[in-house]
Chain A
């Protein structure tokens, strides 16, 4: 009955099938095969990644809940917990951008409120092909509209994020969404089923045929036939989710629940199995009792459907009516579809007749675990070699004009207009970023910061990643991603507490991809350990490739930090003329993997910037201390485009506060102009531009020196021009308004023709 074609359709390998038969002691029927296929899919089982993920640091005194639950949780004082996680929805978003992104947001929100937390902030990290490439704008518009459509409706602000454009994502965009919620630390709810005989309830949207095999789809590569997989993408209903959110939080207040779990990937199958296995129990359900949207659905379809906005919950005995009544208030109907058993089995019935019976353990613990072979990718050595002196031969190197004055100004303007660096206002103004009236650092200002009402505190959060760096060196690239996310949080004045990761890679069955994955996880672990931001959860997305072309290895990381005093939050912008500008950290003129190299020289080469984790840690601690003492008027980290871009961004949206700055040239090439370009646009890590009231300069420099952080007074704010002298030459001299126009209109211009 089960032939090789059926196996292939289910994404199961012959040896995996043998494993199923061995464990079951018989051939599975088709429903059982379907259940195995989703539970053993890469998406649900982490079969290729688990051995590596185990090496990540997940502990710390601040951690209330590490990986393994619906989301992680950290202690944020005042008996409160921040509950947060990031997740990918790459494959669905490629097939159907609006619904793919929307349901990604819906899914991550459910993960948060399932833990008993009220979601209060969203972030996202997006990757697309080049903005001028065919298809990119359609994907970008669809994804942004989908995120907006869901988040805005449900009333959770999208307070920040990042977007980058690289050709490697053209056939496989990345859509990573992050959600954070607040709960009383003592009220965190878990996804467990226990207590023999307890009622298992189904609540939310009815089950349809949408999304069947979504998890399996997310565990395969794409080819030209992928558009045919559209039925595997689900359709979101934010209003239903809003009802579920409010009703579930109200039920959780009552203490009438044993456990609760959302139905995400692999739907009813995954939620029943996971709840049972966490509680050391079994779950028996009858699919005939499951509310259905379509007629004639088979047990197979009901168990594998990924219809959105559905929850599974286990009520305490005698409290069922209380639970039902609260859902009725919200016009939802909690339906009893089964009960908890003590035999550790997932037992599926249809009108009382058993149609599938599988030990939970077979689906979870016994899932295959692979130590996939790894080899260094053949491209790597060649790509890492960068001969800086050879750049001179490029007629566009560094300076398009021979005039000494403002020789690098045109390059700065071009970098500011490059889509990865340019203002993302066109995107974030489509997101409601102010609802809930907590947002105190608006999008585009650095980390997203939300105050916590009823306390003095605020939470800062940032998601970051740099696929280009990881392509050139996955170990270092992943470290840099952690460092940048934590640094962004520290720039706002918040102390980084913990992290969540989303690991986007190609096909793990290819040794070069697996090598990238392993190295990235290793680098991420090293940085998280050094910066004391344990990973409390996350998500792995593999098979991000189309027609055999993998995306750049792209680990993205979300870091959450705590500000003791919300009113001491620090933003990116210069505040006033006459303030001193101090550069914390040291520029080494590193051009490897830089936006400058890509844009001006059309090269993705070299080693990404070096990262000294001790220096990074000292820098971040200094930033938090300075903010706490109100010594920084603004802080902005140097990332893509280097110091020059960072300085320009400090001037933007300030009603025209300019800056006059003088720095030394780098010493990386024979050519003086190239050395100036390297000082301006090199992307050395662990650097932050801060502005300080003149009277505080000495104190700030002393504190930096005591902390072992290099700090140099490089200029002052004022005027309406951005002037940067490098090694005594006025390399950049541009009106702030002109630079700001280049930066703020670049992305909008791509869409201008379509907007009436």
Chain B
């Protein structure tokens, strides 16, 4: 299967996502330049981390106007799997493909460290291979990852089981100290109502090789391979 990795001028995790798809999982992968309006036949689209247009205004605020976002939106509406990682997640929020918004981290500092997240839902393309309740150890790296949604939106999110990942401790318990950025309801990742669009702050592409200190991120990639029905070519 083919991964399409969107490249905004300020993307900086595009090569990492590409590497994971191509070198670790042996799949086809292609960069999709933000000024193009063609997904080049991708079976899954990744919006990678970075700071798309400098993000001096608000993370992801300008990226939603990039030409590539039109086919991404159409692809999502057709049910195609779309994963936004970190800045990609922020862009999905700004583009209205996912509900809510990001605030500065509590404590106001950028945080780069390994965190634990619990898989809450397994009926999305990116968690279909995991079991509910599984705790994954995956790094974060962001300054604006404090997920926020107004109470009614939040209630709707929870009611329709759209919270895909929550920050927990290593045992899977929700704990203030284990929430690295102050996200409401310890939300680390959510999906769309159709469940095919997933946004997450942690970086699964940074946890796909033992040499890098962990392989828990593989669950996300393996899930989407399974979901699209492509055999693992490792």
The one of B19, B51, B139, B211 that contacts A434, using a Cβ cutoff of 8 Å: B139
The one of B49, B106, B143 that contacts A756, using a Cβ cutoff of 8 Å: B106
- Are B13 and A435 interface neighbours, CB within 8 A? yes
B112 interface hit (Cβ, 8 Å) = yes
Size of the chain A interface, CB-CB below 8 angstroms: 35
User: A242-B12, A567-B211 are known contacts; what are 13 more A-B pairs with Cβ within 8 Å?
Assistant: A148-B110, A152-B110, A153-B55, A155-B50, A239-B54, A432-B112, A434-B212, A435-B12, A435-B141, A437-B208, A440-B213, A453-B23, A755-B109
Q: Using Cβ atoms and an 8 Å threshold, which residues of chain B touch A428?
A: 112
Q: Using Cβ atoms and an 8 Å threshold, which residues of chain A touch B205?
A: 437
A313-368 contacts to B, CB under 8 A, are 330-331
Q: Using Cβ atoms and an 8 Å threshold, which residues of chain A touch B56?
A: 239
A566 interface hit (Cβ, 8 Å) = yes
Q: Using Cβ atoms and an 8 Å threshold, which residues of chain B touch A154?
A: 12
- Are A435 and B9 interface neighbours, CB within 8 A? no
12 A-B pairs (CB sep. < 8 Å):
A152-B112, A152-B143, A153-B12, A237-B54, A239-B10, A242-B51, A246-B9, A430-B112, A435-B13, A435-B141, A437-B19, A437-B209
B3-60 contacts to A, CB under 8 A, are 9-10, 12-13, 15-16, 19-20, 23, 49-51, 53-56
- Are A440 and B112 interface neighbours, CB within 8 A? no
The one of A145, A155, A243, A451 that contacts B12, using a Cβ cutoff of 8 Å: A155
Q: A436–B108 Cα gap in the complex (Å)?
A: 24
The one of A246, A433, A437 that contacts B16, using a Cβ cutoff of 8 Å: A437
B166-218 contacts to A, CB under 8 A, are 203, 205-206, 208-209, 211-213
Tell me the minimal C-beta distance from A206 to chain B in angstroms.
15
B111 interface hit (Cβ, 8 Å) = yes
Tell me the minimal C-beta distance from A752 to chain B in angstroms.
11
- Are B16 and A435 interface neighbours, CB within 8 A? yes
A569 to B, closest residue via Cβ: B211
A654-697 contacts to B, CB under 8 A, are none
Q: A430–B113 Cα gap in the complex (Å)?
A: 9
B107 interface hit (Cβ, 8 Å) = yes
Main secondary structure of the interface of B (DSSP, over half): loop
B205 to A, closest residue via Cβ: A437
Size of the chain B interface, CB-CB below 8 angstroms: 35
CB-CB nearest 8 A-B residue pairs: A155-B12, A239-B54, A432-B141, A437-B16, A755-B107, A432-B112, A153-B51, A429-B113
Q: A237–B15 Cα gap in the complex (Å)?
A: 22
Q: A446–B141 Cα gap in the complex (Å)?
A: 21
Q: Using Cβ atoms and an 8 Å threshold, which residues of chain A touch B112?
A: 152, 428-434
A439 interface hit (Cβ, 8 Å) = yes
A714 interface hit (Cβ, 8 Å) = no
The one of B9, B10, B111, B206 that contacts A437, using a Cβ cutoff of 8 Å: B206
B11 to A, closest residue via Cβ: A155
Q: Using Cβ atoms and an 8 Å threshold, which residues of chain B touch A440?
A: 211-213
Tell me the minimal C-beta distance from A40 to chain B in angstroms.
37
Q: A330–B209 Cα gap in the complex (Å)?
A: 32
* Total A-B pairs, Cβ < 8 A: 90
Q: Which of B15, B55, B141 has most chain A Cβ within 10 Å? A: B141
Q: Using Cβ atoms and an 8 Å threshold, which residues of chain B touch A153?
A: 10, 12, 51, 54-55
Tell me the minimal C-beta distance from A308 to chain B in angstroms.
14
Q: Using Cβ atoms and an 8 Å threshold, which residues of chain B touch A611?
A: none
Using a CB–CB cutoff of 8 Å, the interface residues on chain A facing chain B are 145, 148-149, 152-155, 237-240, 242-243, 246, 330-331, 428-437, 439-440, 442, 451, 453, 566-567, 755-756
- Are A434 and B141 interface neighbours, CB within 8 A? yes
Using a CB–CB cutoff of 8 Å, the interface residues on chain B facing chain A are 9-10, 12-13, 15-16, 19-20, 23, 49-51, 53-56, 106-113, 139, 141, 143, 203, 205-206, 208-209, 211-213
Q: A437–B10 Cα gap in the complex (Å)?
A: 17
- Are A242 and B212 interface neighbours, CB within 8 A? no
- Are A566 and B211 interface neighbours, CB within 8 A? yes
Q: Using Cβ atoms and an 8 Å threshold, which residues of chain B touch A331?
A: 9
- Are B51 and A239 interface neighbours, CB within 8 A? yes
Q: A349–B89 Cα gap in the complex (Å)?
A: 50
- Are B19 and A453 interface neighbours, CB within 8 A? yes
Q: Using Cβ atoms and an 8 Å threshold, which residues of chain A touch B49?
A: 435
Tell me the minimal C-beta distance from A102 to chain B in angstroms.
13
Tell me the minimal C-beta distance from A213 to chain B in angstroms.
27
Q: Using Cβ atoms and an 8 Å threshold, which residues of chain B touch A437?
A: 16, 19-20, 205-206, 208-209, 212
Q: Using Cβ atoms and an 8 Å threshold, which residues of chain A touch B109?
A: 145, 429-430, 755
Tell me the minimal C-beta distance from A705 to chain B in angstroms.
33
Q: A694–B27 Cα gap in the complex (Å)?
A: 43
Q: Using Cβ atoms and an 8 Å threshold, which residues of chain B touch A439?
A: 212
Tell me the minimal C-beta distance from B6 to chain A in angstroms.
15
Q: Using Cβ atoms and an 8 Å threshold, which residues of chain B touch A435?
A: 12-13, 16, 49, 141, 206
Tell me the minimal C-beta distance from B50 to chain A in angstroms.
6
- Are B107 and A756 interface neighbours, CB within 8 A? yes
Q: A567–B55 Cα gap in the complex (Å)?
A: 37
Q: A237–B54 Cα gap in the complex (Å)?
A: 8
- Are A242 and B10 interface neighbours, CB within 8 A? yes
Q: Which of A433, A437, A755 has most chain B Cβ within 10 Å? A: A437
Q: Using Cβ atoms and an 8 Å threshold, which residues of chain A touch B213?
A: 440, 442
Q: A145–B54 Cα gap in the complex (Å)?
A: 16
A240 to B, closest residue via Cβ: B54
Q: A331–B209 Cα gap in the complex (Å)?
A: 35
Q: Using Cβ atoms and an 8 Å threshold, which residues of chain A touch B203?
A: 434
Q: Using Cβ atoms and an 8 Å threshold, which residues of chain B touch A152?
A: 110, 112, 141, 143
Q: Using Cβ atoms and an 8 Å threshold, which residues of chain B touch A436?
A: 12, 15-16
Q: Which of A152, A155, A429, A440 has most chain B Cβ within 10 Å? A: A155
Q: A330–B9 Cα gap in the complex (Å)?
A: 7
Q: Using Cβ atoms and an 8 Å threshold, which residues of chain B touch A451?
A: 211
Q: A549–B55 Cα gap in the complex (Å)?
A: 42
Q: A15–B109 Cα gap in the complex (Å)?
A: 51
Q: Using Cβ atoms and an 8 Å threshold, which residues of chain B touch A756?
A: 106-108
Tell me the minimal C-beta distance from A146 to chain B in angstroms.
12
Q: A433–B50 Cα gap in the complex (Å)?
A: 14
- Are A430 and B19 interface neighbours, CB within 8 A? no
Q: Using Cβ atoms and an 8 Å threshold, which residues of chain B touch A431?
A: 110, 112
- Are A242 and B9 interface neighbours, CB within 8 A? yes
Tell me the minimal C-beta distance from B132 to chain A in angstroms.
27
Q: A442–B19 Cα gap in the complex (Å)?
A: 20
Tell me the minimal C-beta distance from B233 to chain A in angstroms.
19
Q: A238–B16 Cα gap in the complex (Å)?
A: 20
Tell me the minimal C-beta distance from A70 to chain B in angstroms.
22
Tell me the minimal C-beta distance from A553 to chain B in angstroms.
33
Q: A243–B107 Cα gap in the complex (Å)?
A: 30
Q: Using Cβ atoms and an 8 Å threshold, which residues of chain B touch A242?
A: 9-10, 12, 51
Tell me the minimal C-beta distance from A236 to chain B in angstroms.
12
Q: Using Cβ atoms and an 8 Å threshold, which residues of chain B touch A243?
A: 9-10
Q: Using Cβ atoms and an 8 Å threshold, which residues of chain B touch A145?
A: 109
Q: A433–B140 Cα gap in the complex (Å)?
A: 10
- Are A239 and B53 interface neighbours, CB within 8 A? yes
Q: Which of B10, B112, B143 has most chain A Cβ within 10 Å? A: B112
Q: Using Cβ atoms and an 8 Å threshold, which residues of chain B touch A567?
A: 211
Q: A86–B117 Cα gap in the complex (Å)?
A: 38
A154 to B, closest residue via Cβ: B12
Q: Which of B13, B109, B205 has most chain A Cβ within 10 Å? A: B109
Q: Using Cβ atoms and an 8 Å threshold, which residues of chain A touch B55?
A: 153, 239
- Are B110 and A432 interface neighbours, CB within 8 A? yes
Q: Using Cβ atoms and an 8 Å threshold, which residues of chain B touch A148?
A: 110
Q: A240–B205 Cα gap in the complex (Å)?
A: 26
Tell me the minimal C-beta distance from A442 to chain B in angstroms.
7
Q: A755–B112 Cα gap in the complex (Å)?
A: 16
Q: A240–B106 Cα gap in the complex (Å)?
A: 28
- Are A429 and B12 interface neighbours, CB within 8 A? no
Q: Using Cβ atoms and an 8 Å threshold, which residues of chain A touch B209?
A: 437
Q: Which of B13, B205, B211 has most chain A Cβ within 10 Å? A: B211
Tell me the minimal C-beta distance from A745 to chain B in angstroms.
13
